[in-house]
Amino acid sequence: MGMKIVKVCPASFEGDDGKEIQGSYIYVVPSGNQANVQPERIFLSDDKLAGMAYEPKYGDTVYLFRNAYGRVIDILKA
């Protein structure tokens, strides 16, 4: 099932090593029924986004690919 992007926000914070990490928070909900659904918040660093073929945009329906630990490793537009 695809996920619909409902919000994209730029973000930055200081990592454990003291370096500033730049990226975006991406909020997604299941594409079918969006009523009373809590959005899932995903953080992707600018480095990770640069390595992807797709740039997340508000309103797009996407497929999320995760690794064994549940972290998003790739996003494809549906």
Domain ranges of the chain: 3-77
| pLDDT at residue 13 greater than cutoff 80 | yes
Closest CA to 48 of 77, 19, 26, 30: 26
Query: Mind listing the pLDDT tens digit for each residue in 28-67?
Result: 999 887 678 899 999 999 999 999 989 999 999 999 999 9
pTM, rounded to two decimals: 0.88
Question: How many H helices and E strands in the chain?
Answer: 1, 5
Q: Residue 72: which residues within 8 A CB-CB, separation 6 or more? A: 42, 44, 64, 65, 66
| pLDDT at residue 74 greater than cutoff 90 | yes
